[in-house]
Amino acid sequence: MRFLVTLSAWLLVVFVAGADAAVTTHAARDCAAVRAPHFRVPARFLAPRSVGLWMPYRGRCLLRVVAGAGSAVPLFRLRGMERIVGLQWAPNGGRFILVTRRPRRVLLLRLDGRVVESWRAASAAFLADGRLVLGRDSGLYVVGGRRLSLLARRSALVRAAGFRSGSGPFGPDPWGNSRGYGRRAVALQWWSGQRDALLVVRDGGYTTRASPTRQGFRGVGGSAWSPDGRVLLEFTVFRPPPGSEKDHDHCLDVWSRRGIRHMFCVLSLARPYRFHFDKLLWSKDGRAGLLNDGTVVSPQGRVLGLARGAGDPAFAVLWQPRG
């Protein structure tokens, strides 16, 4: 019996790895010249000459931008019905992944936009140690050279979320709503069309629901790992409190291995803080994060004050990790 289990696991690794697609290239020569946005967030949160990946709204070309420079260099051009649904830097900043639909695949690219490897998968995300996790219909797999090893089956994701998903796991997106890297863990969004959950899968395949389950929860609008990869800050949406003229409330919840902790909702804060948020930029020293409504928070989610930069285009750019 032990031999049969070992043999089946070995065959699973071999068959999954053998399904990888061929390496391809996407010439960006046909991309029109585009001016980079002017970024105005404090230098504490965006150092001059920082390099980022930017996909303009309804654009067809992925661009490389540099903070403080006016030019945007095309890296990758979409073809036909193809669209980008995932984007993330490798933790060392040397390469990045791009996830597409029509066809469904994950591409690993160099800084010059050349595709060096590709896989047939629906989603992908990096762990803090640099390992890449792929999401497929059957579950999550860790890339190891030319082989893929099973991390968590789809059935484990369904159990943790409490409901089935037609689209499967959704990883870091190209719009800046998901940032950072988990320490020996990966965060993935799980949707059914009407229900929403954020899942964390740790080494060994241990899977847990990281999003709130308390009354009034509507969904997760984005998330960001703390600089040390131990805490996941979640930008959640809830029903507004009774008597409010708003139709929803934006809140911050944090997950760690100790569980989920509610930090605040904007409608319960003083008036200067009452704005929509769904993205975050960490300071260079990692001691504070700037939400895209101007609120400054600690890595544990405590409100520290206000800063300029609300709504700045810097939040829509995926900035290269600082090493």
CATH of residue 201: 2.120.10
Q: pLDDT digits over 270-311, tens only?
A: 888 878 899 999 999 999 999 999 999 999 999 999 998 889
Do 64 and 53 touch, CB atoms closer than 8 A? yes
Q: pLDDT digits over 3-59, tens only?
A: 333 333 433 443 444 344 334 445 687 888 788 899 999 999 999 999 999 998 888
> Would you state the pLDDT for residue 279?
95
Is pTM beyond 0.85? Reply is: yes
Whether residue 118 has pLDDT greater than 60: yes
Task: Compute how many other C-beta atoms are within 10 angstroms of the C-beta atom of residue 302.
Answer: 13
Q: What is the CA angle 220-166-108, rounded to 5?
A: 75
Do 61 and 31 touch, CB atoms closer than 8 A? yes
Compute the average pLDDT of residues 59-77. Answer: 91
Cis peptide before 103 (omega within 30 of 0): yes
Q: How confident is the model at residue 119 (pLDDT cuts 50, 70, 90)?
A: very high
In this structure, what are the phi and psi dihedrals at residue 4, rounded to the nearest 5 degrees?
-65, -40
> Would you state the pLDDT for residue 281?
97
Tokens of 167: 């689209």
Helices (H), the chain: 2-17, 154-161
Compute the average pLDDT of residues 196-205. Answer: 95
Residue 130's domain comprises 2-319
Q: Give percent of the chain above pLDDT 70.
A: 91
Tell me the helices (H) and strands (E) count for the chain, helix number first: 2, 26
| DSSP at 138 | T
The total domain count for the chain is 1
Q: How confident is the model at residue 166 (pLDDT cuts 50, 70, 90)?
A: confident
d(CA 217, CA 47): 36
Compute the average pLDDT of residues 152-175. Answer: 91
Cis peptide before 91 (omega within 30 of 0): no
